[in-house]
Structure 1
């Protein structure tokens, strides 16, 4: 049930001090780490609200709403979506529950239990019962039946609606006064019963007095400049007289009690520019704005405007939330370029008729259709039409049908063009990876239309043409082989267009900062992990030592790089498939996991090669080489169980291989690395991270982005995180030779770093790679190459966490200029395309510095919230952290002093740029060596893995 609309008519500064009583109690609670009722603190500490959102829908965009300081939610929808909604949004966003005090609709859970005689009227517009505020039992009913369940659920702030409904039943001044006094008394009772309760009032100007004011966060009113008339169903301007009346009421509250005002206006979803202008007008009037469509199921504009990062990615697989999605072109090819631009693909089957709640504008950056089938069902066509109507960019790739193209004003012909066909790439168009071969049977006459930029055309012998790829006024398209071309002879695939540039133009990508998982403090992230296969193999060298011994002695204990190691229980257990080597294998595993720089993971119990087949789950995808391997290892007496594979293996490894206090925290997908939903759910339920699948094998002989996989794939609402790089199998033809082939991974490392940084640096292998002399040499070569690069070493678990944080990160424009960036703590790196203006470190907040690489500027955050402001002229007026091989764990910037603490996994290496007059204080005593580099950059090095730096300014 969507609550009734705000029933309002319509000056405080955008930031304001809270009333002293409320601010004091909140400060005490913040200091104690508890909420105002003594429970663990889950809500935002009492702080000035600068931005505010109202969202009443059931499909709640939690991540986007976390950009705002406060959000009003319909509690029944919010708690159904997530019972821990308040904690989920805290501490950055204060969740407020919608509560109607003047009226009760029949859909409310307490509607049937209203006190006898409390209902005195009916509001036919909203089919609601009007309450007599003077009823003796009403205050207790509000406290016990309405507020108490919400308080128990964690809400501490409430948006109180229908406060003026008593005007419908109170016809005299005396009657209205009695109703208002009774309503005020109800609110005071809530103050006394629920310590620290806070109210956002929907109008109710007459209710606020000195006693109530300390609990009032703000007072809201709708229709200050733009309004919606539900009778005529039209938007329009608000008359000046109505606006002046509201502004006077807001001014009275501000002058008397210092209470802020909130202006709520309405604009059509397609009128995004008008929404921004209206929000600015409301802000200029001294109010916090919220401008949206009237159902309040959209992401509107406040003092910030969330920049949509989600893209609806439509595909043709009806089982799109299962392993079958992995084979869809939308996933294999479409997701990577979207992710490069900072977009989060939201996969959706073309035949899904479930409506997307609310307007698409403001919530989605685009709608991309990539179908591997020519038929496009009506649900997908309707969604694309809606997006176009609302000004949301649309992109069409893959197979398509004429009806869909006609929806976009294109007029495809009926007959194929006569051959031979000559494909032409138009001048000044970015080059793709190949100029595709187009058969006459794959053509029809087609013109891109007015205002379009044609990228590829197929020219027939009679002069007719098919514009196969183009950027259009509504987005863009690249049909069939004009998008991705399958090379003859099953030799792979190539992009016919530059996918990064194609999506940039088609989706109207701006220069907004976006979160980044490839980089840490300006340096390419680097981590190592290995699947446990071959731990008990023998090496081809004198004495035939176990692979486990050689890998540990000659690599892991030598390079001492943070690494994720794993074990397959069936290969290492005495009850497994290799009992004769189990004791030695376990000894070497214990030595491995005892190392402080090794984190522990499970590579499953029986190493399922095809988990779907092993578990007996139905799927249309092809089993992984079942005749050679079987679905999983033939463990004596073992009956396959997902619970055993995940929880059982984790428990066994912890009990038999790990030192006390160390947990098996990661799961490394085995076999075809395409687990079913149930397996992914089990891993998350066990509290483990996960990795594997995907990868990258781009090389100079196959320089294609078709060989670079995206970040991961959704499985049942959870995320399977792919490995950034492929292991030796893909370079050695499944370990059949050439065994030195793994050395070519260096080409992949380089091509995923330039001309664009697509992936972090990831050394991923199986232990058996060292069983062969050529393989052993290749692993040394790769490891040494990686450590010779300017990298920032991390653990695989940190990468996993950063990918999940990347999905949740929020970018928002600020009305006062600049950007607001928010992300969970696992992500501290942002990037912005060049040549965008450089940050002004003096005026930005939560930003330590930046550097530039491969067409991007990498921004180093030191807080979960960053306010990024830029300067038209770059002036080095503040110290700038250029890059570091360690994390910033403390950053305290003052006018003339800066204190920074770093923590890494080896000797510290940090680069700074500081203005004239600044210097490092007590560098030698803190263990730092300093040397000057070109361009005014200083390098600071320490033999320690943790250290602090103090910079100070001395005039003259």
Structure 2
């Protein structure tokens, strides 16, 4: 039994006393043979870092990668300033995406030939913005016959015409792919004259000048080799407000360009059929004295204020709390009060100890090639991080512009030289020692500009940890576009940073300078990021200084209250980070023997990721007879979410046709429809079944069982029965119940028909 619990907890990314974390690095090796046999999921993004300074800020990363992730695709990057890549380095390559603003190639002919060879072997291209084939770098025109060899791959021919003045132009065809977030309106950009030359390609936007059919230009097309969006017609950009909106539906465009309909999607938003929830707190403002009456008169710390107002009243909502060692350790700037605040927080069952580093670096690049002498000019400005009274530890002084950018000092505490091992592994060990026995700090929550360099990310992995932060996800009236939502993570050299799924209160309060109530707007971001397409988990991410102001604390409580009222599956933030890592490592091996067109796959190398999604799947269901290691299924938003059993390393998922998505498909064995907890090791037992469970709050769940009528349910731990009850399965076999027992430590549930005496 203990072995079952340990296997389940490791697979779920949860820790039991005395257990080391299960860490799967983003670069986990896969044999070349396996990679060649699996469904290709990699998209190679060609970027020109001479025009875009970093991948982090590139158009593809900030706009394209999120839709590609949602479609189940993982993105890797190549800087074309270094030449053209050797595609043999990418054995699971599905496609290539470009979004150039200029002319990156000195030899356009070589690029066109390289792209042609890639397409000939089945690699699909998605081209947005400038194609990169009209001019060579430096402005030399490319012969039209050469450029047309490239455009012909997209069913087009450039007739060397151009509509500069577009006041007479109008779309004669704009299908459902056009006008996703912003319609074609106002003064339209100029466009080239693209003739349709291959009927295998579908046109989604065709412009005509006046009433002349000879002027028709096909500006958005998709087809057998990919898709092309003419510059100016993919997105709208408002320079005054720095606002971007999609004109083209990126989900539809990339779905057609990369033919993803047959691809199972590893999904990081969902667990046990429910939207996933996690919360994490950065330690900034830990020692601030709250202004909330009547606690201000007692000089209560913001960390204690958050605990009493926003953590203890919500025991069913887990939260990962990440202090800064410098705020706690008395050899730095810690006090008995700040240290005690951490111990009280870590003692709460729903709190996961995490790390916001040792000295709180503000600008991580400053420490990439660290030299203590570079910090010398800032040593006498250490107090700049803490305004006023020495016990009023400040939030990030993000509004203060100085000689290293947006921060006055490179890190909060400078009295000792920077030590990367201390900053990462040392801080994790410090918080583990501070936590009760059985709890271990494994999550590093990036500080400052949340832009760690490769060695910092590697230090987390080497310390047995996982990482999170960055991304600043917003999707609300101020940021009315999915472009405000980041992808799952960012490749940094050979490592990977995992982004938070929601923005903290800094972006809602103008860097903590006003509108301290603004964080309640997170509810709108979470609503839009969850419907009509579930793009992100529900993430409540904030700083300890939210406990300083009455307005910010009230906003935080309103967000938590809203989360409490939704159907969610809460997990610790470190669990989400491991799930996100699993997105990049997951592989699918196609198998024969499916009952519906061969739709059957073995799932490999998924780490802690335990949900697959199939889109446009209202007429599909899991074929449980030909599947193994599948916990259950649920239809939602036109997609089929499939829950995998963490105890099965290589599950097999088979799909079959179903007549109705609003009816659970019949199956000989019970399966999960949805639940608040995470489940593992599902097995038949007599006429019923048993399953391990972990989670937060009461365990509400719905199962499909083969027998209607009354069922008996028991919950036990280590052989001791903790609860017993019963519930009725309706005529369709739906068994809804709630287990009112804490499952933070794993439980074993046994469910059997009440008349089954052998169970």
Q: What range describes the TM-score normalised by the shorter chain of this pair?
A: 0.7 to 0.9
Residue 181 of structure 1 is matched in structure 2 by none
Give the superposition deviation at 1:393.
1.6
User: Using the alignment, how far apart are the partners of 1:769 and 1:506 within structure 2?
Assistant: 44
Q: Deviations over 1:256-315 (max 9, x none)?
A: xxxxxxxxxxxxxxxxxxxxxxxxxxxxxxxxxxxxxxxxxx82xxxxx52111111211
Q: 2: CA distance between counterparts of 1:384 and 1:953?
A: 65
Q: 1:821 is matched with which residue? A: 603
Partner of 2:305: 550
Give the equivalent residue in structure 2 for 1:42.
none
**Partner residue of 1:792 out of 569, 586, 590:** 569
- Kindly provide the CA deviation profile for residues 504-548 of structure 1, in whole angstroms up to 9, marking residues without a partner as x: 111111233222111111011111101111111121133142101
Rounded to whole Å, the distance in 2 between the matches of 1:767 and 1:714 is: 29
1:365 to 81, 85, 94: 94
Deviation at 1:477, TM superposition (A): 1.1
- CA distance, structure 2, for counterparts of residue 867 and residue 614 of structure 1: 46
Query: Contact 2:174 / 2:206 at 8 angstroms: preserved in 1?
Result: no
Superimposed CA distance per residue, residues 569-627 of structure 1 (whole angstroms, 9 cap, x where no aligned partner) = 33334454xx4x62211110121123333222221223222111344579xxx999445
Distance of 2:362 and 2:86 partners within structure 1: 37
Aligned to 2:66: 336
The 5 Å alignment of 1:63-78 reads 63=30
2:266 to 510, 515, 521: 515
Q: Point out where structure 2 has 5 or more consecutive residues left out of the alignment.
A: 1-26, 135-146, 372-397, 595-599, 660-664, 716-720
Could you say if the C-alpha distance between residues 444 and 912 of structure 1 is closer, same or farther in structure 2, counting changes exceeding 3 Å?
A: same
RMSD between aligned residues: 3.2
Q: Distance in 2 between matches of 1:801 and 1:572?
A: 28
- Change in Cα spacing, 1:474 to 1:553, as seen in structure 2 (3 Å) is same
Point out the more displaced range, 474-483 or 872-881.
872-881
Deviations 1:657-678 (A, max 9, x none): 3345543311111111112222
TM-score (norm 1): 0.63
Per-residue CA distance 1:412-462 (angstroms, 9 max, x = gap): 355642313445373432332113568787432223532232223454458
Aligned counterparts, 1:208-607, within 5 A: 299=36, 305-317=37-49, 324-353=54-83, 355-356=85-86, 358=88, 363-376=92-105, 378=107, 381-403=112-134, 406-409=149-152, 410-414=156-160, 416-421=162-167, 422=169, 424=171, 426-430=173-177, 431-436=179-184, 442-451=190-199, 452-460=201-209, 463=212, 464-541=215-292, 542=294, 543=297, 544-560=299-315, 561-576=317-332, 579=333, 582-607=335-360
Which structure 1 residue ranges, 4+ long, deviate > 6 Å from structure 2? 437-441
Q: Over residues 873-901 of structure 1, what are the superposed CA-to-partner deviations in whole Å (9 max), with x where a residue is unaligned?
A: 56513323111111223211378443223
3-state SS in 1 of match to 2:362: coil
1:765 equivalenced with 2:542 (yes/no)? yes
Partner SS for 2:342: helix
Change (3 A) 1:608 1:462: farther
Give the Å deviation of 1:952: 5.0
CA change 1:865–1:444 in 2 (3 A) is same
Counterpart pick for 1:880 among 659, 671, 688: 671
Contact 1:334 1:370 in 2 (8 A): no
Residues 583 and 382 of structure 1: CA distance in aligned 2, closer, same or farther (over 3 Å): farther
CA distance in 2, matches of 1:717, 1:319: 23
CA distance in 2, matches of 1:696, 1:718: 22
CA contact (8 A) 1:416 1:440 kept: no
- 1:170-219 deviation per Cα after TM superposition (whole angstroms, max 9, x unaligned): xxxxxxxxxxxxxxxxxxxxxxxxxxxxxxxxxxxxxxxxxxxxxxxxxx
Q: How does 1:901-912 map to 2 (within 5 A)?
A: 901-912=692-703
Aligned to 1:774: 551
Q: Aligned-pair distance for 1:687?
A: 2.0
Q: Distance in 2 between matches of 1:417 and 1:557?
A: 64
Q: Which runs of 5+ in 1 are unaligned?
A: 1-59, 69-297, 300-304
| Residues 1:942 and 2:739 aligned together | yes
Aligned length in residues: 651
* Displacement of 1:850: 0.6
The alignment partner of 2:195 has SS state of coil
* Maintained 8 Å contact 2:220/2:229: yes
2-structure distance, mates of 1:866, 1:553: 43
Per the alignment, residue 645 of structure 1 pairs with 423
| C-alpha spacing 1:871/1:616, structure 2 compared with 1 (3 Å) | closer
Q: Report which structure shows greater RCO (CA 8 Å, sep ≥6).
A: 2
Q: Relative to structure 1, is the Cα distance of residues 824 and 877 closer, same or farther in structure 2, using a 3 angstrom cutoff?
A: closer
Distance 1:823 1:910, change over 3 A: farther
**Partners in 1 of 2:407 and 2:322 — Cα distance?**
21
- In the TM superposition, 1:43-82 aligns within 5 A as 62-63=29-30
Partner of 1:889: 680
Distance 1:933 1:592, change over 3 A: farther
Equivalent residues in 2 for 1:586-665, closer than 5 Å: 586-615=339-368, 625-627=401-403, 629-633=407-411, 635=413, 637-655=415-433, 657-660=434-437, 662-665=439-442
Cα separation, 1, equivalents of 2:282 and 2:656:
48
Between 1:920-929 and 1:837-846, the stretch displaced more is: 920-929
Secondary structure at 1:848 match in 2? strand
> Considering only CA atoms, is the larger Rg found in Structure 1 or Structure 2?
1
Equivalent in 514, 521, 546 of residue 744 of structure 1: 521
Q: Which deviates the most, 592-601 or 712-721?
A: 592-601
User: 1:380 Cα shift?
Assistant: 5.2
Q: Secondary structure at the match of 2:450?
A: coil
Identify which of 832, 842, 848 aligns with 2:614.
832
- Distance in 2, Cα, partners of 1:894 & 1:664: 37
Residues of 1 paired with 2:259 and 2:605: CA distance?
Answer: 23
Q: Is 2:166–2:190's contact at 8 Å kept on the other side of the alignment?
A: no
CA shift in 2, pair 1:382/1:668, >3 Å: farther
Q: Give the corresponding residue for 1:865.
A: 650
Classify 1:471/1:872 alpha carbon distance in 2 versus 1 (closer, same or farther; 3 Å): closer
Aligned equivalents of 1:858, 1:459: Cα separation in 2: 43
